[in-house]
Chain A
Amino acid sequence: MTAAPPTRSAAARLLPMIAGRIASSLLTLFLVSVVIFVASSLLPGDAAQELLGQSATPAQIAALRHEMGLDQPGPVRFVHWLGALLHGDPGVSFVANMPVSDIIANRLPNSLLLAAITALISIVLALTIGIASAINRGGRIDSALNIATLSLVAIPEFLIATLAVLAFSVKLLWLPSISLVTPETGWAETLRALALPVLSLTCVVVAQMARMTRAAVADQLDRPYVEMARLKGVPFGRIVLFHVMPNAIGPVINAMALSLSYLMGGALVVETIFNYPGLASLMVNAVTSRDMPLLQSCAMIFCATYLALMLVADIVAILANPRLRA
């Protein structure tokens, strides 16, 4: 297993695949933006009406529509937006009257931080749980871990989050019940603020990854090569880490990529409960205020993240598995 991989052939295999995937990703992004544009045009009301609210006069609505360019036909607006985006300008938010890039620059680091910390903790945890229960298959540890992970999958995150708030914030007063992160807050304070959101999200994603790891590792442990390695006297820990894991990593990485992309856009419930200023709540905001440029940018980020993670998962799976690499 320690033999040097035939780098040239791997690169030769990988590069066209990456190029193809990037091309299809761009096409996907384009189609997603079309779907979002069409879907949000079908919603009742437009940004001018939503912004001015109930008390708007027709003259005000007309003036604002003109200012926002909403008086132009839909396809024209879409082409303008797409053209600007291709030049690197995601436009100006209708509602906040600020460049979309500024708004997202405020929120994106928050989402990334939350996702990164959760990912770090949950990947380590999931691998440990998955491997531990796979090698103890049928044993007590396996049953206990199975029950724990299955229960976690079954409990919705808002329940976990609410119970955690009641226990740790309201009763024990250990941790803040809302996560206020500002650039000035120090690391210790930020970590404290993130503790409960990370806990809730970890519960959601760890279970799925752990189940997948267990299944993949257990599958490999039944293979003849494992038996052979054991007969040859290879230490069990070494078998699991260096022989089984590279073969099992494909589906595991895939499950991880799915979970991580969920962390970017699907953290809405957790963002709502902890009032965390992330991207998911920004996107919901953009939908309710019909803020097309902001909505499109959020959607593009989520979609691109998802596609990128999937691509990375495939590449890692290929690189980790000698048979796929050859």
Chain B
Amino acid sequence: MTARGILSRRELLGAGVAGVGLMALGGCGPSPQRRPAAASSGAGAIRVASMAASTKDTLDPAKGAMATDYVRHYMLYSGLTSIDDDSLRPRPALAESFDSDDRITWHFRLRRGVRFHDGAPLTSADVVHSLRRHNDPAVASKIAAIAAQFAEVRADGRYGVTIRLTGANADLPTLLAQAQFLIVKAGQDHPDGTGTGAYRLAQFEPGVRTLVVRNREYWIPGRPHLEQVELIAIPDETSRVNALLSGDVHAIHAINPHSLPRIEASGTCEAVVTPSSLYTNLIMRQDHLPTSSPDFVQAVKHMLDRPLINRALFRNTAMLGNDQPVAPVMPYFNRELPQTVLDLDRARWHVRRGGLNGLRLPLYCSPAATGSVDMASILQEYGSQVGLEFAVNRVPADGYWSTHWMRHAMTFGNNNPRPTADLVFSLFFQSNAEWNESGWKNERFDRLLTEARGEADEVRRGELYGEMQRLVHDRCGIAIPVFISLCDGYDKRLKGIKPIPLGGFMGYRFAEFARWED
């Protein structure tokens, strides 16, 4: 009896473990029966799980900070412009047209007949209010730094808005498509979800869920296709994947590439991999020794095994990086730049020339910067082969950005996809930028940045950005091993999904395009 007790328990456990193993190997056939979309209502009601939710969740687009916020805000509100496909070019949205002669003063003509969810018509007053509030410190806008370039925002009649910038910026229409610039109702200091978006708010409980229903008077005829979307968050990745496979949710955000085989083997779900300009980078401070030595920087760049990082950390879903922040999917990517490859002889030569042999240096990594812990271990291994000794310091994610990031000679950063090359360069590479991660100073780069921002000629602009990428690639103390792709999972009955490189979930806007087909 006792023996049988053990046996049956072992068998049970064994069966469970075998089940996991089989699923991982893709050996299990798809489950024959599937649950219908959201048990409570009819077809076209879906449940979507994002990665994180907390009491920070907000209905205020200006405060949006996480994927869950962006998805919610894009469902409820619309922007002046929008980015609808992988060309990443801005298209007119609430603004039916926009133009500028000098890229300093911009005129936007608003679409007429657009109504907020409460029936009020959209006018220039709403747009002026929505844009001006970013410059009020009390609003605590996430993009106050970008909005600081608005010298003046004024109404130009009932359906016209004029924005005057502090300096020329050809990217303004792209910037205005960002989630934080979505248009809220005039007079609302704390937006309550009343927007002009494809869905109306039915229920909002911070940290728990957001429920929206189709807006039948949406200003784009024929959209959206879903009746109801329930947005929740499942922070635990395994639980999120399980919820998709069991049919409890119909779309999930941010899958670990190592879970992709489980999803592909299910037969009922599929993964969508979005190439993006998200990257985790190694920062070598230019105001510390020895990281300021050009030989040190070159040695490190040549001892990064990029294909290994791509394979081991990201199951080959990532794109190789070339130590500059413009990803191959972005406009103005410089194709002529030679790819830096693993070259230990060259790294050794740089180490010897710089007199760095036998150097011992702490390297700070954290789960806060995706993949940095593994990257640090790989670097440590190759470092020992070229005569550099890296001491890997793994620090907790909590508080990493305020206490470690950029504060030691070698740390890791993690930068989200930005919609324009200008934005990533001005935020992280301009000499006087607050997050000039490596602390490098390059006058020519700064000059090119300002010039490119106001340049109207696309070809010339491409050349300028091309040269800036070369400067960063050659001189900057930043190593970018790979651009990380974003993996989402969908129920196969959800159609109309395609990658938009700005972020997962079709640049957070999938709810507008998705259809449900049984």
Contacts and interface: CB of A to CB of B under 8 A. Distances in A.
A14 interface: no
Contact of B65 (A53, A59, A151, A275): A53
B221 interface: no
B239 A294 contact: no
B505 to A, nearest CB: 18
Given A51-B56, A103-B55, A291-B55, A169 B246 contact: yes
A182 B205 CA distance: 10
B235 A272 contact: yes
A176 B34 CA distance: 12
B246 A275 contact: no
A257 B65 CA distance: 41
B205 A177 contact: no
Interface stretch (B274-282, B398-406, B462-470, B473-481): B398-406
Given A53-B65, A63-B140, A285 B207 contact: yes
A105 to B, nearest CB: 12
B144 A285 contact: no
A62 to B, nearest CB: 8
Contacts of B34: 173
Contact of B137 (A63, A272, A275): A63
Contact of B145 (A51, A55, A171, A177): A55
Contacts of B444: none
A53 B140 CA distance: 10
Contacts of B28: 171
A270 B144 CA distance: 39
A311 B243 CA distance: 41
A38 interface: no
A279 to B, nearest CB: 12
B238 interface: yes
Nearest to A291: B55
B1 interface: yes
Interface size classification for chain B: 35 or more
Nearest to A152: B9
Most chain A CB within a 10 A radius of its CB, from B235, B239, B403 = B239
A167 B233 CA distance: 23
A24 interface: no
Interface in B287-327: none
B186 interface: no
Interface stretch (B15-23, B93-101, B350-358): B15-23
A43 B398 contact: yes
A44 B368 CA distance: 14
Given A43-B399, A44-B399, A275 B145 contact: no
A116 interface: no
Given A57-B145, A178-B234, A272 B239 contact: yes
B158 interface: no
A162 B238 contact: yes
A53 B49 CA distance: 23
A55 B457 CA distance: 31
B388 interface: no
8 contacts: A53-B65, A55-B144, A60-B141, A96-B57, A170-B242, A176-B248, A180-B248, A273-B239
Interface string A53-96: 11111011011100100000000000000000000000001011
A323 to B, nearest CB: 37
Most chain B CB within a 10 A radius of its CB, from A67, A170, A273, A289 = A170
B432 interface: no
Given A64-B140, A163-B16, A189-B39, 7 more contacts: A54-B435, A140-B1, A148-B5, A166-B242, A170-B23, A178-B243, A273-B239
B140 A96 contact: no
B54 A165 contact: no
B19 A52 contact: no
Contacts of B19: 166-167, 171
A59 B137 contact: yes
A140 B3 CA distance: 10
Interface string A87-121: 00000010110100001001000000000000000
Nearest to A180: B232
Interface string B320-355: 000000000000000000000000000000000000
Interface string B28-44: 10010111000100000
A57 B144 contact: yes
A5 interface: no
B362 interface: no
Contacts of A95: 54-56
Contacts of B138: 63, 67
Interface string B1-12: 110011001000
B44 to A, nearest CB: 19
Contacts of A195: none
B248 A169 contact: yes
Contacts of B65: 53
A93 B234 contact: no
B242 A144 contact: no
Most chain B CB within a 10 A radius of its CB, from A67, A285, A294 = A285
Nearest to A155: B13
Contacts of A166: 16, 19-20, 23, 242
B403 to A, nearest CB: 4
Contact of A275 (B1, B239, B403, B435): B239
B92 interface: no
Contacts of A282: 55, 207
Interface string A199-233: 00000000000000000000000000000000000
Contacts of B399: 43-45
Contact of B55 (A60, A63, A285): A285
Nearest to B402: A45
Contacts of A274: 239
B140 to A, nearest CB: 5
Given A60-B137, A288-B398, A173 B31 contact: yes
Contacts of B402: 44-45, 49
Contact of A60 (B20, B140, B233): B140
A147 B1 CA distance: 11
A294 to B, nearest CB: 7
Interface string B221-250: 000000000001111101100110111110
A177 B242 contact: yes
Given A163-B16, A294-B55, A170 B246 contact: yes
A93 B55 CA distance: 9
A177 to B, nearest CB: 4
